[in-house]
Structure 1
Amino acid sequence: MVHKLTEEYANHGMSLKCDIYTDDDYPKDAPVFLYFHPGGLVDGNRDLIAPWLVQSCIQRKWPLICPTYRLLPQAGGDGLLQDASAAYDFARSWNTLPKFQRRVIVGGASGGFFMAAIIAHHCNPKPLALLSIQGINTFRHPFFNSSLLLAEQEIPPSTMEKYITTPMQSGDDMRPDESAFVLDKLTPNGAKNPNYTPSEAGSENPSIYRGMLYDYYTFNNSFVDLVGSVDPGYQWAKLPDAKDRVAQWPRTVIFHGNNDPDVVLNVSEDMRDCLGEDKVTLIVADGQPHLYELEKFIDDDAPGMDVVRQSVARLDEIVASA
């Protein structure tokens, strides 16, 4: 029966923990899936994981590791890379055979995929594969540098000041979310639990909250200033001398809705076009918005879930070929 463990994977001025979904009978040489939560790198917590992803890992006997990480703006790009690298090292060595390092599939949803991308850019050995769930792969894309107004109206700096000047925070400091995953959503064998009843929602979200920093920084073209030191983008892949570097890039699977206002589809298309279709598989969910699948199960007959299943199948092919 799958159970959840919580362990500290690093301490970078604060304890950084991860949840591990696993079972005692999983092979100790099986790949591990390392998943980074959404929240635009400014909000969210490690409970924001889709049931379908937990189920997919259970079906393949892949331990699933979901870390907390420090958030922007306090963490900066170097802090994000420090946390991402520590989580990657932890995943490679977690509960494995003596003198053996696990292969790691690294994925993330929305802003969480940026953490996966910087692992691929900066860490060795490279991950076994990457999975982008409508993810941000770079902040050097024009979407984040064109003064786009994602909120209904411009957010004044005074509104965000308390979040910008607060001490360092991680996902553990964030408010609970009604989309949070709990194991009770699944039966002991990993199927959808038809008897699960969600707890009553807490108080309504305030009209001003930390996650608005994403809209604020996008409008003010601030993300490159915050994380540019660790974010090389992908235009380098088009240079004549980049062939070896591109060859080392892990095979990447992306699914992305073409009705996503928060991270437009072209962010993923541009990564594919730079690295090439032999490295990046992009599957488009027609008409779907951002994180449309966050509360869905793998067998749900819902719009866009066929794309999720196709993406998992493509990931299976990559793992098998490796």
Structure 2
Amino acid sequence: MGRRSTKPALLQKTTQVFAVHQIPLECDVYSADDYPADAPVFLFFHSGGLVCGAREAVPPWLVQTCYRRKWPLISASYRLLPQADGPALYDDAKAAFGFSQTLGGHVRRVIAGGASAGFFLATLLAHYETPKPIALLSITGIPTFRHPFFNSSKLIPPDPITEDEIEPFVAEPVSVGKSVANTLDVFDIDKLRPDGARNPIYKPTALPSRLDQNSTRGLLYDYYLYNNMYCDLAGTVDPGFLWPREFKVPSQWPVTIFIQGDQDVDVSPRVSIDVAAKLGQTAVYCEAKGQEHLFESRSFLDSTDMNQNEGNPMAAVVRAIEALDKAVGASPES
């Protein structure tokens, strides 16, 4: 009798429409044929200040983490500010959550996470949905805009962005984020070997000569941040976390894991630190010393990255993955 092969199934990417809210909303599903039908799903929302970015921008280490655990990974698009508002963002997140809960016709538990402002959508699911996500993962994320940082007239570029500079973007029709193929932040399955390890011989095709929308539409983030407009843009759908001192964290609030660089100027570390303090034992805060915003966005879980030395930028990511395993009750496939 022949030996059964233990070779893992190949990672595949499919694109599906999960909702139509004014425009079709698509998601990319990363999965393989040998994933269990009851495996939890990781629902990811991309970075971009809610004004740009694209679902194709998924950190390689997150893809590896899900692949090794046989978790389907869904990266969902959502409508962008200012054409969308806070309730519209929640509607998009809710639709992506519902799609994830029934992926493949099976009842699924869902982990929700996001990078930068994408994490805001994940927190809305924890605030309003029942059942809630089983865990939340913030990747240098924004859990709320109701924090002093977003009312501090923070100036990131050398000079304030003018209204004339953003007017073309404000006049655009409703849209989702778009990404130019082969830019460095776009995840390509060929970046991984069939066993899920980093492909050392991967080479992208020639990078496009034109700028993608994110290099210009991202000015909206600088403008809204400096003019303290994010609270109004998000609206009442964002309840915030600066609760009264006697407020107790809801018993059903999921374990919330924060990955945060302590030198982040785009989103002050105080935002995550203060929310983690309010969540108490429900929160796990993983700080990366000397690291900036989205420091891990192009990193892999190779042998160097797995080094737990505090001098390694990915040590915080590894600690966060361990906390996520504990919260979900999972372990990587050997």
Q: TM-score, normalised by structure 2?
A: 0.90
| Structure 1: distance between partners of 2:215 and 2:261 | 27
Does the 8 A contact of 2:46 with 2:114 survive in 1? Answer: yes
Does the 8 A contact of 2:42 with 2:74 survive in 1? Answer: yes
| Structure 1: distance between partners of 2:221 and 2:114 | 17
Aligned match of 2:89: 80
Please tell me the residue identity of whatever aligns with 1:232: P
Aligned match of 1:284: 287
Does the 8 A contact of 1:2 with 1:22 survive in 2? Answer: yes
130, 134, 141: which is aligned to 1:124? 130
Aligned match of 2:7: none
Aligned match of 2:76: 67
Aligned match of 1:192: 198
254, 265, 271: which is aligned to 1:267? 271
| Structure 1: distance between partners of 2:264 and 2:211 | 22
Does the 8 A contact of 1:29 with 1:96 survive in 2? Answer: no
Does the 8 A contact of 1:246 with 1:275 survive in 2? Answer: no
Structure 1 segments unaligned to the other structure (5+ residues): none
State the number of aligned residues: 313
Aligned match of 1:222: 229
- SS at the partner of 2:204? coil
Q: Is 1:166 matched up with 2:172? A: yes
Shift of 1:171: 1.5
Q: Is 1:89 matched up with 2:92? A: no
CA displacement, residues 79-127 of structure 1 (integer Å, 9 cap, x when unaligned)? 1000000000000001143xxx211000000011011011111111110
| Structure 2: distance between partners of 1:226 and 1:114 | 13
| Structure 1: distance between partners of 2:113 and 2:126 | 11
311, 321, 325: which is aligned to 1:312? 321
More helix by share: 1
Aligned match of 1:295: 298
The more displaced of 18-27 and 246-255 is 246-255
CA displacement, residues 2-29 of structure 1 (integer Å, 9 cap, x when unaligned)? 1001111000011101000001110010
| Structure 2: distance between partners of 1:178 and 1:306 | 22
Shift of 1:301: 2.5
| Structure 2: distance between partners of 1:301 and 1:96 | 39
Please tell me the residue identity of whatever aligns with 1:269: I
Alignment identity in percent?
A: 47
| Structure 2: distance between partners of 1:235 and 1:284 | 21
Aligned match of 1:234: 241
Please tell me the residue identity of whatever aligns with 1:235: L
- How do 1:35-184 residues align onto structure 2 when only pairs under 5 Å count? 35-97=44-106, 101-172=107-178, 174-176=179-181, 177-184=183-190
Please tell me the residue identity of whatever aligns with 2:187: F
Aligned match of 2:308: none
| Structure 2: distance between partners of 1:70 and 1:11 | 11
Does the 8 A contact of 1:57 with 1:63 survive in 2? Answer: yes
Q: TM-score, normalised by structure 1?
A: 0.93
CA displacement, residues 188-209 of structure 1 (integer Å, 9 cap, x when unaligned)? 1211111101222222538971
CA RMSD of superposed structures (Å)? 1.6
- How do 1:21-36 residues align onto structure 2 when only pairs under 5 Å count? 21-36=30-45
CA displacement, residues 25-66 of structure 1 (integer Å, 9 cap, x when unaligned)? 100101000000111110010111111000000000000001
| Structure 1: distance between partners of 2:220 and 2:209 | 21
Does the 8 A contact of 1:159 with 1:208 survive in 2? Answer: no
- SS at the partner of 1:130? strand
